[in-house]
Amino acid sequence: MKRALHQSLDWFLALTGLQYCPVRVRRGVAAGARWTLYPWSAYWRGTHEPALQQALIALGDIRGWNCWDLGAHYGIYSIGLALRTGQEGAVAAFEPNPVSYARLEHHRRMNGLSNLKTFEAAVSDQAGSADLLTYGDLRSTTTHLAYENETVGAESRPLGVETLVLDELVAGGQLQPPRFIKVDVEGHAHKALAGAIRTLAAHRPILVVAFHSEQEVQGVMALLEPLGYEHSTILTESGSPDAVIGHDLLFMPKPRP
C-alpha cells in the first residue's frame, strides 16, 4: 500500500512539475540555501547523513577555501560548501549522472553561486569515457562505474559518461588545488584519488571519503598513508557491521616533521 502511494505521489509530482517548487534547507551544512521540494526531501529537511553534515560543519570557518565534491549528486554538500567558502573561495563539483547533474545545476542557479563550478563527468585515473551503471533509475544515489569484477547484467542499463583526471585539470588551470575534498563515488574513490595524487602530495588537503568496497578501502589507504594521513570514522546510519565499508572516514594530514 505504501509503495503504491509513493509511486502515485512520485508520478504526480513529476507530471505537474511540483518537484521543482522552491523550499529552504532547514538545517545542516547547507542551512538556509534554496532547494527543490522533491525527490530526496531529506536534503532540504536536513536529515540526510547528519553525522557527515556535522563533520563538515566542524571544519569551522572555511571562508576562502577551495573545495572539491567528487560525486555531488543533487549538490547538498556542494551548495553548503560554496555558501560557507564565500566568494573568496571556490567549490568544484563532479557528477556524471545526467539527471543528478541537471538538478545540481538547477540548485546552483537557484542560489546564484558563481563560486561553484560544476562538471558533468566522473573523476578517475584515466581521462576518456566509461560506462555508468544505472540499474533502471537515474535518480538513484547508487549509479556507479563498475566495481572490480562486477558482473554487468542487462538490467544495469549502462550509460556512457566522460571521465576526467584531477591532476590534469589542476595542471591546466581549470581547478585550484583544494584544502578539502569530499569523495562519495560508489567504489571508485581509489581511482579518483589516484588521478589526483600529485595534488594530494603537494597540498595535503583534508578529505572525507565514503567507502563501498574492500578494493576501494585498500586502494585509498595505499594512496594516503604514505602521504602522512591519519583517519577517524564518521559513523553513518547505514547499519553496516563493517568498521569501514558503509561508513565515511575523515582523513587529516599529520604535521610535517
Q: What are the chain's domains?
A: 48-253 (3.40.50.150)
With 70 as the cut, is the pLDDT of residue 5 above it? no
CA distance 78 to 104: 9
What is the C-alpha to C-alpha distance for residues 191 and 204, in angstroms, rounded to an integer? 17
- pLDDT exceeds 80 at position 10: no
Mean pLDDT of the chain: 90
What does 25-94 look like in DSSP terms, one character per residue?
Answer: --SSTTTT-EEESSS-HHHHHT-SSHHHHHHHHTT---TT-EEEEES-TT-HHHHHHHHHH-TTSEEEEE
Percent share of the chain, pLDDT over 90: 71
Amino acid letter, 200: L
CA-to-CA distance for 173 and 34, rounded, in angstroms? 30
pTM of the model: 0.91
Can you tell me whether residue 199 is helix, strand or coil? helix
The per-residue pLDDT for range 122-131, each reduced to its tens digit, is 999 999 998 8
Q: What is the pLDDT of residue 245?
A: 83
pLDDT at 1 over 60: no
Predicted confidence band of residue 77 (pLDDT cuts 50, 70, 90):
very high
Higher-confidence residue of 144 and 195: namely: 195
Distance (Å, whole) CA 140 – CA 18:
19
Cβ within 8 Å of residue 159, ≥6 positions away: 98, 131, 132, 134, 138
**Predicted local confidence at residue 221, as pLDDT:** 97
pLDDT digits over 206-244, tens only?
999 999 889 999 999 999 999 999 999 997 766 666 768
Q: Residue 21 — pLDDT band, cuts 50, 70, 90?
A: very high
| Separation CA 244–CA 189 (nearest Å) | 14
Mean pLDDT of 27-35: 98
- 34 has which bridge partners? 24
**3-state DSSP assignment of residue 237:** coil
Taken in order 208, 48, 73, 188, is the CA torsion positive or negative?
positive
